[in-house]
Amino acid sequence: MIRPSDQIIKLINEQYKTIDDAHSSLSEIWIKDILFSFGWMTTFLLTVVPWIIWFIFRNKESSARLMIGGLWAMIL
């Protein structure tokens, strides 16, 4: 079995640590500054609330027709 030299292994480990540190930094920034911010909450509410309202007030007898109409609107 061919084994890379110790220098190559060291370089790979250094690059991996650099990438891991960058990922950790970006994760911290996203959690601290983006997640649950005003813009995030607004987008979430504008995405979810209409579905909840539709589910409560829809005409139960014509659900299939409404779903097919919504599917066609999304496709077009």
User: pLDDT-based confidence at 61, cuts 50/70/90?
Assistant: confident
CA distance 22 to 29: 11
Domain boundaries, the chain: 9-75
User: pLDDT-based confidence at 39, cuts 50/70/90?
Assistant: very high
Whether 58 contacts 66, CB under 8 Å? yes
pLDDT of 70: 85
Query: 76 pLDDT exceeds 90?
Result: no
What are all long-range contacts of 62-66, with beta carbons under 8 Å and residues at least 24 apart? Answer: none
Angle formed at CA 38 by CA 37 and CA 42, multiple of 5 degrees: 120
Q: Average pLDDT for residues 44-53, to the nearest whole number? A: 92
User: pLDDT-based confidence at 30, cuts 50/70/90?
Assistant: very high
66 or 31, greater pLDDT: 31
